[in-house]
């Protein structure tokens, strides 16, 4: 299962008091939702009558029309058995009337959920007509001929096609302890809100933030559907605002300021909700303290969810915000965290210098920028940063020039130590043929560089600032006890796809204006470890992405493996959709197999990582987010991938 649920929010052009026309419109929206293979169709508060009926709610004629309308909607639901409809209507129970949400599916009313908090202030006067769900004494409501008695409970949770769904109505969300809190703690993964919230200045943004926050606080999908512009405008205006949020992220919302007569459809990912709740022990601990307040679970006969997630918003680069302003803000926030961590480490040691190996590539450039900025904020000169470039067999002219120009424009203490002789002597010592360009040939260079950095740091009273990034650590694309090791890793939780954008954003800082040109050239340089000799023209001959695969794909895989623990099937499916225009399915599956093989086999390198600040939602630190046995088998992950048809 891919764990998606497709929710449709319908805002009909309601005619206040005209239940017959409203019923026809509701049935029409049901047909549209069915054609779009929605799992749940949500309507606004009192969609059957209109929210603004006022004292007409006391009229028997209106209520009898409501019962007829419910019967018609229930009959229409037989034509779309995989769709669950949630519609607002008044329901009489004994001598009281309740503002309810009716849950209908497969030709039956599955239950009713009454509104708990009845507003009676400012423009609201609901207590004149409706009782609170707290006053409910019966467990069923008689809807008359053809429908009979249906369950009615305060704060019920409906089991709909494998998903647990809670319902609250408008004002319930605006209270200090919304019913959705209790329902989520009792297992509801989706909260539906039938609303009739009138529009006033600033209220639209407030509602949006309220829904967004509630979905984050409850680790849930939250669907909000409000009455539209055709409600009575005697004293109020209604905007028809609909919002679909998931775990603190707005997935879809009404764009028009005032709207009506439309359908908003969106896939939501229950897999994300379930993954976060499984990890969030505080959520579980809170639930333990509120069990006595839980309402009943109403098990329906609704079929399994049918959404395939094709309407779910996917980003190719999940670590990188798509909008420029958001991206720059994210990059600068991360840079500030990098600098803060390094400043604290240098301060604790007491006047320590920062030693960085400079290759002219992306990772070492970002580490160098962080070190220079840390010194600047500490009131120390850039010369307290020691940049060392260590050319060897694979160094290209371009990266060599960029390394030197970068150090000079930033004003650091620059030094070149050519390691050809030392590595050649090492080859002789261990009996390695330098014409054999294997792992020994490459790793010897990486370890020699690390040895020099460590010893040089000891000589100048400094620490080695590590340059390796999150993507390299996930793939094990580093030499054990070589570039794998440092005294503080400033890039350790930053993925490769984000590092490019970070350097681009930092290059616009006034303090780095002198280095802007060389920084841009670094961004244009192909990613390479430069451990094999350059070609005849002195250009890079070894490209990392040719060897381990595109970092865009690997960072996509990494995000969903670490953040949510999704299955190989789901990650493969998502990747095929996100990269449909870039890679054929077989290529995606092939690189995903590479990812799993390397991720499992290289854990031993991650089990002994140096310190490094966590900056995002995932980290591979053995002291933080990720604990994994070094000898775990990848068999079941690879077998699942092998079983998929590209």
pLDDT digits (tens, 9 = 90+) for 4-27: 999 999 999 999 999 999 999 999
Looking at 260, 282, 299, which one is the last position of a domain?
299
With contact defined as beta carbons under 8 Å apart, do 469 and 363 qualify? Answer: yes
Residue 531 confidence (pLDDT) above 60: no
| Domain count across the chain | 2
Task: State yes or no: is 170 an active-site residue.
Answer: yes
* Whether 368 and 506 share a structural domain: yes
* Whether 263 and 125 share a structural domain: yes
Helix residue ranges per DSSP H, 411-530: 420-430, 439-460, 470-475, 496-506, 516-524
Give the CA distances from residue 134 to residues 138, 140, 273, in Å, rounded to whole numbers and listed in that order.
11, 15, 29
Q: What mean pLDDT comes out for the span 570-578?
A: 97
* Whether 443 and 497 share a structural domain: yes
CATH number for the domain harbouring residue 104 = 3.60.110.10
- CA dihedral (263, 250, 289, 284) positive or negative: positive
How confident is the model over 249-295, as pLDDT tens digits? 999 999 999 999 999 999 999 999 999 999 999 999 999 999 999 99
Task: State yes or no: is 45 an active-site residue.
Answer: yes
Give the CA distances from residue 210 to residues 85, 236, 457, 484, 623, in Å, rounded to whole numbers and listed in that order.
24, 21, 52, 44, 35
Q: Which pLDDT score is estimated for 13? A: 96
* Whether 266 and 329 share a structural domain: no
| Confidence band for 300, pLDDT divided at 50, 70 and 90 | confident
Per the domain annotation, does 316 fall within a domain?
A: no
Q: Where are the beta strands (DSSP E) in 49-105?
A: 84-93, 96-105
Per the domain annotation, does 77 fall within a domain?
A: yes
Percent of the chain with pLDDT over 90: 91
Helix residue ranges per DSSP H, 13-120: 19-35, 60-76
What does pLDDT average to over the chain?
94
Given 115, 353, 570, 605, the catalytic residue? 115
Q: Which pLDDT score is estimated for 645? A: 75
Per the domain annotation, does 340 fall within a domain?
A: yes
The whole-angstrom separation of Cα 275 and Cα 254 is 28
Domain span holding position 111? 4-299
| Confidence band for 155, pLDDT divided at 50, 70 and 90 | very high
How confident is the model over 534-568, as pLDDT tens digits? 666 666 556 778 888 999 999 999 999 999 999 99
The whole-angstrom separation of Cα 564 and Cα 270 is 11
Per the domain annotation, does 304 fall within a domain?
A: no
565: helix, strand or coil: coil
CATH number for the domain harbouring residue 596 = 3.40.50.620
* Whether 257 and 349 share a structural domain: no
Given 170, 220, 242, 331, the catalytic residue? 170
Looking at 282, 299, 316, which one is the last position of a domain?
299
Given 9, 27, 34, 45, the catalytic residue? 45
* Whether 353 and 287 share a structural domain: no
């Amino acid at each position: 299962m891919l764990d998606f649920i497709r929710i449709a929010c319908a805002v009909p052009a309601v005619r206040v008091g005209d239940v017959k026309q409203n019923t026809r419109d509701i049935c029409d929206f049901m047909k549209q939702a069915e054609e779009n293979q929605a799992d749940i169709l949500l309507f606004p508060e009192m969609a059957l009558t209109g929210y603004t009926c006022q004292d007409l709610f006391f009229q028997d004629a209106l209520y009898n029309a409501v019962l007829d309308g419910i019967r018609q909607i229930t009959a229409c639901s037989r034509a779309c058995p995989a769709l669950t409809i949630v519609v607002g209507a008044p329901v009489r129970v004994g001598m009281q009337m309740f503002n309810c949400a009716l849950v209908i599916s497969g030709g039956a009313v599955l239950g009713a959920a009454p509104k708990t908090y009845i507003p009676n202030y400012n423009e609201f006067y609901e207590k004149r007509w409706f009782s609170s769900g707290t006053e409910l004494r019966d467990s069923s409501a008689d809807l008359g001929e053809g429908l009979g008695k249906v369950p009615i409970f305060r704060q019920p949770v409906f089991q709909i096609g494998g998903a647990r769904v809670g319902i609250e109505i408008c004002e319930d969300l605006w209270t200090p302890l919304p019913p959705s809190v209790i329902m989520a703690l009792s297992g509801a993964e989706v909260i539906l809100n039938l609303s009739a919230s009138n529009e006033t200045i600033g209220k639209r943004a407030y509602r949006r933030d309220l829904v967004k926050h509630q979905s984050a606080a409850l680790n849930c999908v939250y669907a909000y559907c409000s009455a539209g512009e055709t409600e009575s405008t005697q004293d109020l205006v209604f905007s028809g605002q609909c919002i679909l949020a998931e775990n603190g992220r707005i997935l879809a919302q009404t764009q028009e300021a005032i709207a009506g007569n439309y359908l908003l459809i969106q896939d939501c990912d229950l897999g994300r909700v379930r993954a976060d709740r499984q990890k969030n022990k505080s959520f579980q601990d809170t639930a333990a303290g509120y069990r006595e307040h839980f309402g009943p679970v109403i098990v329906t006969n609704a079929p399994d969810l049918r959404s395939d997630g094709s309407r779910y918003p996917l980003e190719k680069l999940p670590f990188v915000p798509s909008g420029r302003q958001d991206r720059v803000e994210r990059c600068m926030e991360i840079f500030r965290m990098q600098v803060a961590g390094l400043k604290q480490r240098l301060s604790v040691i007491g006047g320590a210098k920062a030693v960085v190996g400079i290759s002219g590539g992306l990772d070492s450039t970002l580490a160098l920028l962080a070190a220079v900025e840390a010194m600047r904020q500490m009131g120390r000169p850039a010369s307290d940063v020691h940049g060392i470039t260590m050319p060897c067999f694979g160094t290209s002219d371009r990266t060599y020039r960029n390394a030197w120009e970068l150090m000079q424009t930033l004003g650091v203490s620059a030094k070149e130590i050519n390691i050809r002789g030392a590595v050649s002597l090492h080859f002789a010592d261990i009996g390695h043929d330098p014409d054999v360009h294997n792992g020994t040939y490459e790793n010897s260079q990486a370890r020699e560089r690390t040895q020099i950095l460590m010893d040089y740091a000891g000589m100048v009273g400094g620490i080695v600032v590590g340059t390796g990034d999150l993507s390299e650590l996930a793939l094990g694309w580093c030499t054990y006890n070589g570039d794998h090791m440092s005294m503080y890793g400033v890039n350790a939780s930053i993925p490769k796809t984000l590092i490019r954008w970070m350097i681009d954003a930092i290059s616009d800082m006034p303090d780095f204006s002198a280095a802007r040109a060389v920084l841009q050239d670094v961004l244009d340089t192909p990613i390479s470890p430069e451990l094999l000799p350059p070609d005849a023209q002195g250009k890079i001959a070894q490209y990392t992405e040719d060897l381990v695969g595109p970092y865009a794909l690997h960072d996509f895989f990494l995000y969903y493996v670490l953040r949510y623990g999704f299955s190989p099937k789901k990650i493969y499916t998502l990747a095929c959709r996100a990269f449909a225009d870039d890679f054929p399915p077989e290529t995606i599956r092939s690189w995903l197999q590479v990812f799993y093989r390397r991720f499992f086999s290289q854990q031993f390198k991650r089990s002994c990582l140096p310190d490094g600040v966590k900056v995002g939602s995932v980290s591979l630190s053995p002291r933080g987010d990720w604990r994994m046995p070094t000898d775990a088998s990848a068999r079941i992950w690879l077998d699942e991938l092998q079983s998929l048809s590209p």
